[in-house]
Amino acid sequence: MLDFINRNLLLLFGAQMVFVSGNILLVTVGGIVGYQLTPDPGLATLPVALMVIGTALATVPAALIMQKFGRKAGFVLATAIAAGGAWLATIALAAESFWLFCAATGCVGSSLGFSQQFRFAAAESVAAERVSYAVSFMLLGSIAGAFLGPAVVSFSADADPNHPYQQAFQVAIALYFFAAVLLAAFRDQPQIQAQAAERGPVEGVSLFRRPAFVTAVMAGVLGQGVMTYVMTATPISMNVESGFSLQITSEVVRAHVIAMYLPSLFTPWLIARLGLSRMMFLGVVILGVTIGIGLIGQHLMHYWFCMVLLGVGWNFLFVAGTTLLVQTYRAEERFRAQAINDFSVFGASAVASLLAGTVLFQMGWTPLMLSVVPALLIMLATLAWLRRHQSTPALS
């Protein structure tokens, strides 16, 4: 069952752990630090939004750099950018500069534009029938990050209560250097490059004529967008509005992240049993239940169940969508297709994170929950459209 695991997957597994821990660190404290440093509460989520914007803006350059220099070069570059962003965050906190902190989160976010390619590198490192297993394995690497990120936050707060986040970013710098060592040992896949070179030029417009490609992108856009929107608002709602401590808030965020990745233990099995379209439908249903729980109340258990189900629904959409995506393009189209997908996904995620703070502070938690419903309906309509075209080959 584990015969698909190889050297590259193990290295990517470790790097995924580091980058997810850094991401969780920023998601956990970004909105809170933003609220503390800015005089306008509506801008509290701007640091998190800029992290996601940085991710979106880096997706295309990341794909181009990896296409020209290889995945290993791009991944090592990502660790340097991330370490630089964490270092800048320590300076921003010392200076109590909101805008410098925003620059730091944008910098770290741009490194995530490169690390999003981990799953595609994993997919290229295994046989075609093992892609869903490879993608799920990468997500399992995030579970360690789910524990490590909040642990770093708690350690930093206990070590220096007057400057609760300084040491967290210092630890993050060391973790990114560790990831650099791992990724320096990554091996590019020369056979993929050779296949792409043989097929000639790419016509990007043909990708959008494929219902499967469009559906895969929509699964990523709406799944990631909804997840980011609710996840960005929740720590602020818990800590600022409902008065829960930073420790309790970080524990709920940890539960959410574990729920995002732990289902990867059985997601490939479910995909094999249900199929990709039914798996994505199940993800939408779970997100709908998430919204229902969020509308019931704002007690601790409401937040906890809401965030856990949010993670599970995202996992089903993400793994199924990624597995479908890699079936919709040829070798010579891979970087263009991956760049289009990730730019769309994280562009939508950036908009969602920007809107989260504004909607939360101006309208409240209940309207924020209700505003997710149209996105879920759009995804259901997209899946229905795909079913009408299921007889069409994915690469036609």
Residue 289 C-beta-side C-alpha neighbours within 13 Å: 14
274: which 2 tokens? 């249900």
Q: What is the pLDDT of residue 76?
A: 95
Evaluate whether 38 touches 346 at the Cβ level (below 8 Å): no
Evaluate whether 32 touches 234 at the Cβ level (below 8 Å): no
| Identity at 322, one-letter amino acid code | T
Phi, psi of 210 (to 5 degrees): -105, 110
Which of 318, 10, 367 has its CA nearest to residue 182?
Answer: 10
DSSP symbol at 392: S
Phi, psi of 164 (to 5 degrees): -70, -15
CA distance 96 to 320: 42
What per-residue string of b and e applies to 307-324 under the rule 16 or more CB within 10 Å gives b?
bbbbbbbbbbbbbbbbbb
CA geometry: angle at 298 spanning 297 and 301, to 5°? 95
Give me the count of residues in the chain: 396
Q: What is the pLDDT of residue 1?
A: 53
Q: What is the pLDDT of residue 339?
A: 85
Which of 119, 15, 118, 113 has its CA nearest to residue 64?
Answer: 113
pLDDT tens track, the chain, 396 positions: 565 678 888 999 999 999 988 888 887 788 778 878 877 777 777 888 788 788 888 988 998 899 888 899 999 999 999 999 999 999 998 888 889 999 999 999 999 989 988 888 888 888 777 887 888 888 777 788 777 887 887 777 666 667 777 788 888 999 999 999 999 999 887 655 544 444 444 455 578 788 899 999 999 999 999 998 998 888 888 877 777 887 788 788 878 878 988 888 888 889 988 999 999 999 999 999 999 999 998 888 889 999 999 999 999 998 899 889 988 888 778 888 888 888 888 888 878 877 887 888 888 889 999 999 999 999 999 999 998 876 544 443
Fold entry, domain 7-188+205-388:
Growth Hormone; Chain: A; (1.20.1250)
What are the DSSP calls for 154-215, one per residue? HHHHHH-TTSTTHHHHHHHHHHHHHHHHHHTT----HHHHHHHHHH----GGGGGG-HHHHH
Q: What is the pLDDT of residue 246?
A: 74
Q: What is the pLDDT of residue 201?
A: 47
Q: What is the pLDDT of residue 190?
A: 64
pTM, to two decimals? 0.75
- Which residue pairs from 130-134 have beta carbons closer than 8 angstroms and sit at least 24 positions apart in sequence? 130/4, 131/323, 131/326, 131/327, 132/267, 132/268, 132/271, 132/272, 132/319, 132/320, 132/323, 133/4, 133/268, 134/4, 134/9
CA distance 36 to 249: 16
CA distance 130 to 396: 23
Give Cα separations from 154 to 134, 150, 247 (angstroms). 32, 6, 7
Evaluate whether 229 touches 306 at the Cβ level (below 8 Å): no
Which of 269, 276, 386 has its CA nearest to residue 327?
Answer: 276
Evaluate whether 199 touches 324 at the Cβ level (below 8 Å): no
Q: What is the pLDDT of residue 198?
A: 45
Give Cα separations from 391 to 71, 80, 282, 301, 381 (angstroms). 34, 46, 22, 44, 18
Residues sharing a CB contact under 8 Å with residue 116, sequence separation 6 or more, in sequence order: 55, 59, 62, 342, 346
Place of tokens 């597995």: 323
Classify the C-alpha dihedral 357-158-108-12 as positive or negative: negative
CA distance 154 to 127: 41
Distance in Å from the first CA to the final CA of the chain: 32
CA distance 318 to 283: 9
Which of 287, 253, 336 has its CA nearest to residue 24?
Answer: 253
